[in-house]
């Protein structure tokens, strides 16, 4: 989580709310599907039955579920199980192989946000290979122990996983990485007891561990990409001047490793799509979203609107947080003082509305707990656009 920071990722396409691009000789297809219930994978199954993608081609899923977004949000687990079950029923991969597929689920659809998932798949299609185009890489870190969360050990393990995801994407230059989406474990009473049974102690309380896990992961991403030096233990989740400009970190009880999905540009990748990023200055900075789209190669008028996107947006992913200074554009904010509604829900609903307005679509990915992800009061903005042949 950041101090009011956010991460925005926008995926654009010509039609059918999907994208296709190549990774070497393998193209990547991505499609957004709506979740009709907390255990609904029918959208994924429809893609498979229609021949849009094969179950065995799916390499990653990033989605929003409708739970409370907290430590005990089990809608993430239900959605995860439903999608993995569908892949096993319709494909030939073993349960063990399917378990290795990164699935990043963010809970909480406050305000106008629609539950949905973006499915990424590799297929045999190819495209032009003489230009830098969008590519994807995935990896799982080594096991993250309860006592690692909030400490240098987690930073180092995540950094190693990010580097492996870069290799999977065929990216050599860290500057070609524009978006790193992760899911990492958080603490539970059981995991705390496990650590204590081994003579270890944890760095924070259970209900603080979501933000701490996110923040420590973001530092690992920053270290791997050369954005920051390896932080000292006392800087983790304290020195908020340290941050990654491309990190979007989420956490939950459903895993014990860091699930890592990298998006970037690779020379010779082929395809029609490029990724770029900008910085969102604060929670109201709708221009930051459009600036990211421009940076990726799509021309827009100075005062852009959703209609100017011409139906090319597939999805928008954001990180957000109430600004810890308690202000927004010089005005006092009360999110951090509200004892009835947690500030995460305030900020998620507000930023979700800004993103939905920018894109003309309420099925947007908005996640809170953005520590070390972007600067104070703002955050990274990443866009994927169709740049044509």
Task: Just list the catalytic residues.
Answer: 183, 250
Tokens of 354: 């800004």
Could you tell me which of 310, 319, 315, 314 has the C-alpha nearest to residue 364? Answer: 315
**Using CA atoms, how far apart are residues 126 and 157, in angstroms rounded to an integer?**
34
Q: Where are the alpha helices (DSSP H) in 91-150?
A: 95-99
**227: three-class secondary structure by DSSP:** coil
User: In the Cβ-directed half-sphere of 141, how many Cα atoms lie within 13 Å?
Assistant: 30
* CB of 275 closer than 8 Å to CB of 12: no
How many other CB atoms are found less than 10 A from the CB of residue 317?
26
Tokens of 86: 């569908």
Length of the chain, in residues? 389
Tokens of 342: 């947690």
Task: Note the maximum CA span of the chain.
Answer: 60
């Amino acid at each position: 989580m950041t101090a009011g920071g956010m991460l925005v990722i926008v995926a654009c396409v010509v039609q059918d709310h999907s994208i296709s691009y190549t990774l070497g000789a393998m193209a990547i297809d991505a499609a957004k599907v709506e979740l009709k219930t907390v255990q609904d994978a029918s959208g994924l199954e429809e893609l498979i039955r229609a021949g849009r993608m094969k179950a065995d081609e799916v390499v990653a899923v990033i989605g929003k579920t409708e739970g409370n977004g907290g430590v005990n949000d089990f809608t993430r687990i239900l959605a995860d199980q439903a999608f993995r079950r569908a892949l096993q029923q319709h494909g030939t991969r073993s349960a063990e192989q399917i378990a290795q597929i990164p699935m990043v689920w963010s809970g909480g659809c406050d305000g106008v946000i629609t539950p949905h998932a973006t499915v990424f798949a590799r297929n045999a299609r190819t495209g032009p290979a003489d230009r830098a185009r969008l590519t994807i890489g995935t990896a799982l870190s080594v096991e993250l122990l309860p006592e690692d969360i909030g400490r240098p050990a987690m930073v180092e393990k995540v950094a190693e996983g990010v580097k492996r995801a870069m290799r999977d994407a065929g990216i050599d230059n860290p500057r070609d990485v524009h978006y790193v989406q992760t899911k990492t474990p958080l603490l539970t009473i059981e995991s705390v007891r496990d650590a204590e049974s081994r003579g270890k102690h944890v760095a924070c309380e259970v209900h603080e561990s979501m933000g701490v896990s996110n923040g420590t992961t973001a530092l690992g991403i920053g270290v791997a990409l050369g954005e920051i030096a390896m932080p000292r233990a006392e800087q983790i989740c304290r020195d908020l001047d340290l941050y990654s400009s491309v990190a979007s970190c989420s956490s939950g009880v459903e895993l014990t490793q860091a699930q890592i999905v990298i998006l970037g540009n690779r020379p010779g990748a082929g395809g029609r799509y490029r990724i770029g990023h900008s910085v969102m200055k604060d929670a109201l900075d709708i221009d930051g979203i459009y600036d990211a789209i421009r940076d990726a190669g799509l021309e827009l008028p100075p005062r852009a609107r959703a209609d100017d996107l011409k139906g090319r947006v597939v999805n928008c992913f954001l990180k957000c947080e109430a600004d810890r200074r308690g202000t927004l554009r010089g005005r006092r904010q009360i999110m951090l003082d509200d004892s009835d509604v947690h500030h995460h829900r305030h900020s998620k609903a507000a930023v979700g509305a800004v993103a939905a307005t920018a894109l003309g679509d309420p099925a947007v990915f908005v996640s809170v707990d953005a520590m070390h992800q972007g600067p104070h009061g703002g955050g990274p903005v990443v866009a994927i656009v169709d740049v044509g042949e």
